[in-house]
Amino acid sequence: MKDLTKRKRLRHSLIIIFSAIILLLPFIITNNYYLSVLVIIGIHTIVVVGLCLLMGYAGQISLGHAAFYGLGAYTSGILTSTYNVSPWIAMLAGAVGTGAVAYIIGKPIFRLKEHYLALATLGLGLIVHVILMEEVELTGGPSGLTKSIPYLSIGKLVLNSDFKYYFLVWIVALLAIILANNVVHSRIGRALRSIHGSEFAAQSLGVDTGKHKLQVFALSAMYASIAGSLYAHYITFISPNPFGLMTSIQFVVMAVVGGLSSIWGPILGVSVITVLTEALKEVIPKIIPQAGGEYEIVVFGFILVMIMIFLPEGLTAGVVNLYERWRYRKERTDETSGN
């Protein structure tokens, strides 16, 4: 019992320390490019936190999260540029709308299990992408929205620089992490984990598995939608290109690399993948001149395979395991030396 409160305290202090670091970072990093990489990491983190809730705790895979990301971006983009709606209201509308879509679509989809469920979410992603491509009147079709999307602003403060946007994105990301953390450690969180463990066992204990899965699905869709809105106001131009299948897969990869069973997984996974992508872009042309992204994929694939073989539970779990093994070994040597 004592151990439990200690753990809780540790968890809270970790979050506080992390938040402090995150919010101080832009004062140390003055390079706009690094800031913009961090902004993108923040935006992707929001999506992946939601995805981790779904995959890690409810044990349901989604290969269609870019669709929700896109729905949020397009709702924000269309409402603000064509209909002059306030960006914040548009963002909220996007989140609520996307959550509702996920809830309604989730109902029949969650009758499916495992691979079939994965395929259904894959289909969902493709359908949304097709709609974005084909509804030319509304979405501008494959060329993207014709009007430029306005910046977000708080009162008179226009968030038009990476520095300002960084704070918005990371405050939202931190809130998303804290909310997810609370969900995980609530009654619902325990119910979710029991679903992940064994759905039949959970059902026999009276957990309404269907309801909980749907709720988490809708929540993670809302996370993705908010991230999409933030993306749209950051780049100020959207086309269907970033909301396709590859992005969905990228989100899943980020979640898996980071590890599904910890709230720190998403941040770690997204950071590693994004920083790696950007770093490889710099390094590879120096080693092999003329090389493009096709070489990056080779290195990338290699790293992924390595992680899957040696740290199958993702980086966070891997690091924690290593730490515990180190501590165990140390305790043992202490014991022997004490003797």
Query: What x-and-dash track marks residues 193-232 binding other proteins by CB under 8 A?
Result: --------------------------------------x-
Residue 92 or 272 with smaller CB distance to other proteins: 272
CB of 280 to other proteins, least distance (A): 7
Site for other proteins in 13-72 (CB under 8 A): 31-34, 36-37, 40
Among 286, 335, 338, 339, binds other proteins (CB under 8 A): 286
Nearest C-alpha neighbor of 250 from the set 234, 273, 281, 232: 273
The yes or no reply on residue 283 touching other proteins (CB under 8 A) is yes
Angle at which helix 2-28 crosses helix 162-184, to 10 degrees, equals 170
Residue 31 or 204 with smaller CB distance to other proteins: 31
Listed ranges 13-21, 71-79, 102-110, 139-147: which one lies at the site for other proteins (CB under 8 A):
139-147
Assess contact for 239 and 139: CB atoms under 8 A: no
Residue 3 or 294 with smaller CB distance to other proteins: 294
Tell me if residue 60 falls in helix, strand or coil: coil
Among 15, 112, 131, 303, binds other proteins (CB under 8 A): 303
Among 322, 324, 328, 330, binds other proteins (CB under 8 A): 322
The yes or no reply on residue 306 touching other proteins (CB under 8 A) is yes
Q: Where are the alpha helices (DSSP H) in the chain?
A: 2-28, 32-52, 65-81, 87-109, 114-134, 136-139, 162-184, 187-197, 199-204, 209-235, 245-258, 264-287, 293-310, 314-338
Listed ranges 178-186, 189-197, 199-207, 306-314: which one lies at the site for other proteins (CB under 8 A):
306-314
Q: Cβ–Cβ contacts within 10 Å for residue 287, how many?
A: 8
Backbone angles phi, psi at 157, to 5 degrees: -85, 110
Among 153, 178, 278, 320, binds other proteins (CB under 8 A): 278
The yes or no reply on residue 280 touching other proteins (CB under 8 A) is yes
Residue 180 or 280 with smaller CB distance to other proteins: 280
Give the dihedral of Cα atoms 272, 185, 12, 260; nearest 10 deg: -10
Site for other proteins in 79-118 (CB under 8 A): none
User: Rounded to an integer, what distance in angstroms lies between the CA atom of residue 63 and that of residue 246?
Assistant: 9
User: Rounded to an integer, what distance in angstroms lies between the CA atom of residue 231 and that of residue 14?
Assistant: 28
CB of 3 to other proteins, least distance (A): 26
Assess contact for 91 and 153: CB atoms under 8 A: no
Tell me if residue 176 falls in helix, strand or coil: helix
State the residues that interact with other proteins by CB under 8 A.
31-34, 36-37, 40, 133-134, 136, 141-144, 146, 148, 160-162, 231, 235-237, 239, 241-242, 272, 275-283, 285-286, 290, 292-294, 296, 299, 303, 306, 309-311, 315, 318-319, 321-322
